[in-house]
Amino acid sequence: MQQHKGQSTVEYVLLVTAVITIIIISTAGNKGFFSAALNSVYNNAASDMLNVSARMTSSLASVN
């Protein structure tokens, strides 16, 4: 049973290390690959939301 507890501790440490690594990479600055990819995703999502909003507005205007 003791071996299982040690295994859980190692898995927990690895998980925490992975999360900290992701946080460090994501906040490394604007020139990192992850930051550029994330900005691209945000920009695409914002553009798509604006397009849907414009279509909904024009659709409502044609009903009135």
Secondary structure, 3-state, the chain: CHHHHHHHHHHHHHHHHHHHHHHHHHCCCCCCHHHHHHHHHHHHHHHHHHHHHHHHHHHHHHHC
Residue 1 is predicted with a pLDDT of: 44
Can you tell me the mean pLDDT for 5-20?
86
The answer on 17 and 45 residing in a single domain is: no
Same domain, 25 and 37: no
Looking at the fold, whether 35 and 56 belong to one and the same domain comes out as yes
Per-residue model confidence as pLDDT tens digits over 23-57 = 877 777 656 777 778 889 999 999 999 999 988 88
Range of the domain at 17: 1-29
Counting the structural domains of the chain, the total is 2
